[in-house]
Amino acid sequence: MSHFDAAKPKSAAAFTHKLGVVCALAAGVWLGGAEAPTKLVNIGISPFAISLAMVLGVFVARWTLPTLLKGTDFVFHDLFTRPHLIIWAVLAGALWAVANTLTVFAIRDVGLSIAFPLWNANSLVGIFWGWLLFQEMRGAGFRTVTRVLGGAFIIVIAATLLGYVTVQHNHSPHAQALHGVAAALGASLLWGTMYVPYRKAYISGMNPLSFVTVFTLGEVGTMALLAVAFGGGAAQLHRELSAARHAIFWIFLGGFCWVIGDLFQQYATKYIGIGRGIPLSNTNQLWGLAWGALVFGELDHVSTPDRWLVLLGSVMMILGAMFISTAVAPAREQDSGRDAISRECEKYGLSFEQCIATQLGHAHGQQKGRRPWWDLLIVAAAIAVFLWLGLKVQIPSLDMNFFWMGVLGAILLFAALSCGWLLWKHTRFS
């Protein structure tokens, strides 16, 4: 019997909040680490080729992980039970592809340590959409609203400070630094809006593992279109990827790791909403800073005052995100959330009780004793792709600190295993 089966509704809701917080923190660890391979843009690979290779890794992961955890039978049944959400998933994937490409430009122009805090202003966009469309914060009371808005204000100040540091003190040319800031903020806007389809899917009872399999179709299609249109055509991209085949494995791996973080973020969005889940998962800024500074030495040649400014802005953004995440939804806000679920159920003919059950992690879905043969084929194909790319891999010609790489890699594994165990034990990844 799961934890939720024996819990009273109030205690179940409280545990759901805690589980969402843990998922968001794990998402921060993995989303921060997954961007490290895009540092390869500094060895001559174009941003479009980098992003396309990363999206291919994302595509493989978004089918392999759901297949391993729930199986394709569950995924397809879940999708076709709510077919109106398929187009929303494709739209979210398209937004992600454009935003991801912008982040590669941002990293190239201003560096990983600076780009992360700027595009993490997406939490402001997410808070607005959550309030406007899904009744988050409605009836929350003065104290809770003050926490959320106060945290949002801190994030704005931090983003402004980091933008100033970037333009004034970055070693890139002034115009290039401005382009990097603009790219990071554009990614922030798109990623903040991308969570609207997420939340719409989960208040309708869809499983995150089902949502991401269709989500990736929008990613791959949009990224392929962008790469061909702006990357010099298919022939040019093929030549560039072939010339950089020794490095593609690392970018592909970055996309795969990104999906692990994104899945945790999806569960956080499901269990605690956009306004709380996104800011807390934006602790990925801390991990992005750790990879950039400790592994790649991005702050080695920065003066001490400039380092203090970067750290101050980073800490401010993290504190703002944490301030928002501690604003636990009171009873009246939970009632508003149920009203939003009821609205979706009435609009699309869904079962309100079933949607509430999935929202709390009660509904595990039907599990068959034997998996179909194509589940094994999907996993085998993913392993084959990794082996094929791994046979061509070379250590990138970048200065890296392998000790800190090992430490941060161990933290990645701990976050994935511990949070994954909690999700399986209490919700069976529902």
CB 277, CB 22: distance < 8 Å: no
Which residues have a Cβ under 8 Å from the Cβ of 128 and sit 6 or more positions away?
A: 192
**Half-sphere exposure of residue 22: CA atoms within 13 angstroms, side-chain side:** 17
Residue 245, token pair as written in the block: 């085949």
Say which residues have a Cβ less than 8 Å from residue 383's Cβ, sequence separation at least 6.
none
User: Which two structure tokens, joined as six digits, stand for 423?
Assistant: 């999700």
pLDDT of amino acid 428: 87
pLDDT at 116: 67
DSSP string, 58-102: HHHHHHHHHHHHT-HHHHHHHHHHSGGGHHHHHHHHHHHHHHHHH
pTM score? 0.85
Would you list the domain boundaries of the chain?
3-427
Cα→Cα distances 326→9, 37, 153, 199, Å: 20, 32, 15, 20
Residue 82: what residue type?
R
pLDDT by residue for the chain (430 residues), tens only, comes to 344 443 445 566 678 888 998 999 999 999 988 877 766 555 667 777 777 888 888 888 988 999 999 999 999 999 998 999 999 999 999 998 888 888 878 877 877 667 767 777 788 888 889 888 888 888 888 888 888 888 877 877 776 676 566 555 455 555 567 888 888 889 889 988 999 998 899 999 899 999 999 998 998 899 888 888 877 778 888 888 887 777 788 888 888 888 999 999 999 999 988 888 888 887 887 787 788 888 888 777 777 787 788 788 888 878 887 787 777 888 888 888 889 899 989 988 888 988 888 877 776 555 556 788 889 999 899 889 888 888 887 776 777 888 999 999 999 999 999 999 999 998 889 8
Residues 424, 417: Cα–Cα separation, whole Å: 10
Tell me which residue has tokens 């809701």.
Answer: 13
Read off the tokens for 63: 């089918």
Which parts of 170-283 fold into alpha helices (H)?
Answer: 174-203, 208-230, 234-243, 245-272, 274-281
Token pair recorded at residue 228 = 């061909």
